[in-house]
Structure 1
Amino acid sequence: MTALSTPAAPTPLGHYRQGMRVAGLVYMSGQLPIVPGMQPDNQAASFEQQAELVLRNFLAVVAAAGACREDVVKVTAYVVGSMNWPTFNRVFAEAFGEHRPARSVVPVPELHHGYLIEIDGVALEPAAA
């Protein structure tokens, strides 16, 4: 196993790594919509802004593994409020373009620090793709 770390994504807020590389796969930990290098305090941002930021953070960890969005196999999104689902779907489609990884969207009542979205996922290592 190899730990992944990048300053292009937020520093973990707990006892975990941004991602782990193992057996040809890259596992990205749950990413929150935190501006890298900042404290977790952008709760006032709209859902759309949070969704765009969380996807940038997620894809930054993917890039730290030397992979790209087309290497992403599975994404799980935890979204506060089912009314945010259409906005998430649009922002997700913009971030991934023609690539359509397997995906689950889980409506939740709340997330840590008052955020409205968290994303985790799995990608192939470039050499394994």
Structure 2
Amino acid sequence: MTDPIDRIFVEGAAPPAGHYSPATAWRDLVFVSGQLPVRPDGSHSFDQPFEVQARQVLDNLLAVLAAAGSSPERVLKVTVYVTGIQHWPAFNRLYAEAFGEAKPARAVVPVPELHHGYLVEVEAIAAR
């Protein structure tokens, strides 16, 4: 018998817009899908400044981690996609606030564009 794969959904959050789970977990590993700065009610924030979007995307990431039985201290790797490297200093500051003393491995990848015109997307791998 193989270990089951848990599909993680966040109560009170907008459901995924595509055919995927916000996160999956296998044994003690959690794989968080790319999170966009969609508000919990499903409304979009793509028209908001970068810092508003970054705070929302980090809130979304933390909510998925909590639903999966994890936390920032248990994050192993984060990948951040930003539409311009000029956003790096603001994101780094907000990320440090959200993660506190936790310093998981991380990559920041500049991209030309993201879905719906967003400026930032974040995915992660964590332990639970």
User: Is structure 2 residue 55 aligned with structure 1 residue 38?
Assistant: no
In structure 1, C-alpha distance between the alignment counterparts of 2:71 and 2:94, rounded to whole Å: 17
Contact 1:8 1:57 in 2 (8 A): no
* Residue equivalent to 1:103: 106
The 5 Å alignment of 1:34-73 reads: 34-39=38-43, 41-73=44-76
Amino acid at match of 2:37: P
Q: CA RMSD in A?
A: 1.0
1:123 to 119, 122, 126: 126
- Between stretches 5-14 and 98-107, larger displacement belongs to 5-14
Gaps of 5+ in 2: none
CA contact (8 A) 2:32 2:64 kept: yes
What residue identity is the alignment partner of 1:25? L
Structure 1 ranges of 4+ moved more than 3 A: none
> 1:20 maps to which residue?
24
Cα distance in 2 between the residues matched to 1:25 and 1:57: 18
Q: Answer yes or no: is the 8 Å Cα contact 1:10–1:57 preserved in 2.
A: no
Structure 1: any 5+ residue segments left out of the alignment?
none
So what's the TM-score if we normalise by structure 1? 0.92
| Superposed displacement of residue 36, structure 1 | 1.0
Distance 2:78 2:15 in 1: 20
TM-score (normalised: structure 2): 0.93
Q: Relative to structure 1, is the Cα distance of residues 8 and 51 closer, same or farther in structure 2, using a 3 angstrom cutoff? A: farther
Q: Structure 1 pair 57/79, CA: closer, same or farther in 2 (3 Å)?
A: same
- 1:8-37 CA distance string (max 9 Å, x none): 443111110000010310000000001012
* Residue of structure 2 in register with 1:92 after alignment: 95
Asked if the contact 2:46/2:116 (under 8 Å) is kept, the reply is yes
